Amino acid sequence: MDDTRHYYKFSHIQTILNQLYEGRTVIQKTDLGAGSQINKNEEVSIGQIARTSASSSQKGKMLFRIAHWFKPKEILELGTNLGISAAYLAAANSKTSVVTIEGDPQIATYARRNFNQLKLNNIKLIEGSFDSYLEEVLNNNSFQLFFIDGNHTYEATIKYVNLITSYVSGDFLIIVDDIYWSAGMKMAWMELQTDPAYNLIIDLFSVGILGHMSELRERVNKTLIKSRYKILKLGLFR
């Protein structure tokens, strides 16, 4: 059965997202990886960024429910953007520590404002490139849940997922966004599924999930196309 419960934080985050959609402040983008509809160094409004790059409420609720079920002590996100996805992840459990990395300092400023407004004190935002900080944070933390939502290229996706996998131990989940955004992302997704490190593979079309769950006696590989993220019907994320 799908989890259709409405958590009070959903309304708070949706209010922030609605405000962002209407944002007219113009900034100059300085660091956007592949996967955005906005060019680097282009002047753009906050509203346009929210409409084209921020996680939707539907995707955010899915992230919330996965984090709520999995109860990781630490979560790592690559690609903060305006902070919507990190907010959903952090809202799932106030005792969970969320580290999120964002390369654009102006965007990071807006994300911090949103975290403060939502009173989410369990988020640490790092400004800088993934290449500069990923290994450092992996060395200094023990993440169990990951959300990769930045630099949507074949090379970067393979690099970051493989690096993350080399550091994890025990049960973990890696959520990769926009797995069919381009031919390169699709190729990366297909290739990653062949890694024996994962005994749980779920294709939701908009995102892909790779993980290892000790409770699984055999490998699970499911494709669930659209239909409101039917991942919950697996019985894993209730």
The domain segmentation of the chain, as residue ranges, is 8-234
- C-alpha–C-alpha distance, residues 227 and 146, integer Å: 23
Judged by phi (left if over 0) then psi (alpha if -120 to 50, else beta), residue 16 lies in alpha
CB atoms inside a 10 Å sphere around CB 55: 26
Contact 144, 167 (CB under 8 A): no
- Picking from 168, 172, 110, the residue whose alpha carbon sits closest to that of residue 145 is 172
pLDDT of residue 228: 45
Predicted pLDDT at 54: 85
Q: Range with the lowest mean pLDDT among 31-35, 74-78, 201-205?
A: 31-35
Backbone torsions φ then ψ of 118, nearest 5 degrees: -85, -5
Architecture of the 8-234 domain: 3-Layer(aba) Sandwich (3.40)
pLDDT at 232 over 60: no
Q: Quick one: what percent of the chain has pLDDT higher than 90? A: 77
Residue 227 has pLDDT above 80, yes or no: no
The DSSP code sequence of 55-117 is PPHHHHHHHHHHHHHH--SEEEEE--TTSHHHHHHHHT-TTSEEEEEES-HHHHHHHHHHHHH
Residue 95's pLDDT band (cuts 50, 70, 90):
very high
> How far apart are alpha carbons 88 and 67 in whole angstroms?
9
- Spatial CA neighbour of 24 closest among 53, 39, 44: 44
Phi/psi of residue 220, nearest 5 degrees: -110, 125
Tokens of 189: 């997704």
Mean pLDDT for the stretch of residues 207-222: 95
Q: What's the average model confidence in pLDDT over 65-81?
A: 96
Rounded Cα distance, 209 and 212, in Å: 10
